[in-house]
Amino acid sequence: MDRRKFLIGGTALGCSAAASPFVTPVAMAAAPWDARLVVIILRGAMDGLDVIQPYGDPALAGLRPTLFNGNAADLDGYYALHPSFEPLRPLWNTGEFGAVHAVSTPYRDKRSHFDGQDILEAGLPNLTSGGLRDGWLNRMLQVVPGLEPEVAFAIGREQMLVLSGDAPASRWSPDARLTISPNARALLNVVHHDDPLFRDASDEAIAIAEQISLEADLAEETEVMMAQSPMMETVSRGGEHVKIAEFAASRLRADTRIASFSINGWDTHARQSNGMRNVARALTDTILTLKAGLGPAWDKTAVLCLTEFGRTARENGSGGTDHGTGGAMLFAGGALRGGQVIGDWPGLGDGDLYAGRDLLPTRDVRAHVAWVMRGLIGLDQAVLEQAIFPGLELGPNPGLVR
């Protein structure tokens, strides 16, 4: 059955999940794999040393006299969790939330947000030899022929380089509204009748907008599922990040397999404890919303939270931290082996810091991402090391995927 004809009827909208413009009546045709991958870009550089605090390292207290204040509760005997991330502790306990520490992209020394994010999203070893054209998630889609655009979704206001490129991907922003009277809508069909590109895009736009504005079944279903989840009691509803997570969950329950969006605000140069509270809230809300909204699909889901670089090991004079190098990748999802902090800890002692100031990265974070993609989707080592992450050595399996 032609999906678009199915939609043009209009009456089918909102009747069942199958009426979503992204669910083809032919089951599971969109992608040859079933796992879900959510990539969240934490823009501004998350302070991994504050979120996952290595309190077992004797040097930490001296470096961070106010940030390291004993409020963080133990995770595993060496690391402790920032109190604002406590809403995720139940997931830690069930092995659905964890971290990789002392990692970074190959970006070094310049510590610019823009360049750091470009390198993170492009998945390249550097920008010095040019070639900034597409993102690694898009290159992953490029190696699988014949995917439908709805397999991958970039969500939110931000341009997501990580998902940009030649492979088709969908985009949706909570700013995107469609306001059109029923009469004008009928006339628009007439106007676009002979131009298939405009006709199909308009039909889909109208279908999505109706679905969103009418809070059709997928969204309602998300609501119901979230109401049933006790952890959601801590989530403040209505924030934009929650809307984005709800939208992502509704897509991922259907044919979408990859979703990517950003959470901004991690650039905590001053009064970090305040800034961290707000931004941690956004991230914990997002992860809990995804879990609740995904329902059974959560078990097949990997959520990776990546940031452009870490922050200085020492706190600065204004209760914050400055741009650094090594940091942490947070992860969640039933497909991953949480309840652990993975990584080769380099230490925070005098001679241990990178350039005398930053946490030393002991592994390329791209390797962890690549191992997740390999575990979830079964991509070849050569594809990962050459096409998706040029210059990467995959190295030993860190054991992230269940």
Closest CA to 19 of 1, 7, 31: 7
Q: Does 260 bind another protein (CB under 8 A)?
A: no
Q: Which is nearer to another protein, 170 or 301 (CB)?
A: 170
Site for another protein in 166-185 (CB under 8 A): 168, 170-173, 175-181, 183-184
Instruction: Name which position in 16, 71, 93, 159 contacts another protein (CB under 8 A).
Output: 159
- Which 3 state secondary structure label does DSSP give 363? strand
**Minimum distance of another protein from residue 209's CB (angstroms):** 6
Segment near another protein (CB under 8 A); pick from 192-200, 257-265, 338-346, 389-397: 192-200
Segment near another protein (CB under 8 A); pick from 45-53, 93-101, 206-214, 323-331: 206-214
Q: Does 270 bind another protein (CB under 8 A)?
A: no
**Minimum distance of another protein from residue 96's CB (angstroms):** 31
Q: Does 214 bind another protein (CB under 8 A)?
A: no
Q: Hey, which residues does 259 pair with through a beta bridge? A: 38, 153
Pairing of β 36-43 and β 301-307? parallel
Please report which helix (H) or strand (E) contains residue 39, including its range: strand 36-43
Find out whether 51 and 330 touch, Cβ atoms under 8 Å.
yes
Instruction: Name which position in 50, 96, 204, 246 contacts another protein (CB under 8 A).
Output: 204
What residues have CB less than 8 Å from 390, skipping those under 6 apart?
123, 124, 125
Instruction: Name which position in 12, 29, 61, 187 contacts another protein (CB under 8 A).
Output: 187
Question: How far lies 287's CA from each of 67, 95, 104, 235, in Å?
Answer: 24, 14, 22, 10
* Maximal C-alpha separation, the chain: 72
398-112-136-37 Cα dihedral, nearest 10 degrees: 60
Q: Does 202 bind another protein (CB under 8 A)?
A: yes
**Minimum distance of another protein from residue 133's CB (angstroms):** 6
Instruction: Name which position in 188, 231, 383, 394 contacts another protein (CB under 8 A).
Output: 188
**Minimum distance of another protein from residue 169's CB (angstroms):** 10
Q: Which residue has the tokens 């940091």?
A: 327
Question: How far lies 343's CA from each of 256, 262, 334, 336, in Å?
Answer: 31, 24, 20, 15
Q: Does 8 bind another protein (CB under 8 A)?
A: no
What does the binding site for another protein look like in residue numbers (CB under 8 A)? 21, 110, 112, 114-115, 127-134, 149, 157, 159, 161, 164, 168, 170-173, 175-181, 183-184, 187-188, 190-195, 197-198, 201-202, 204-209
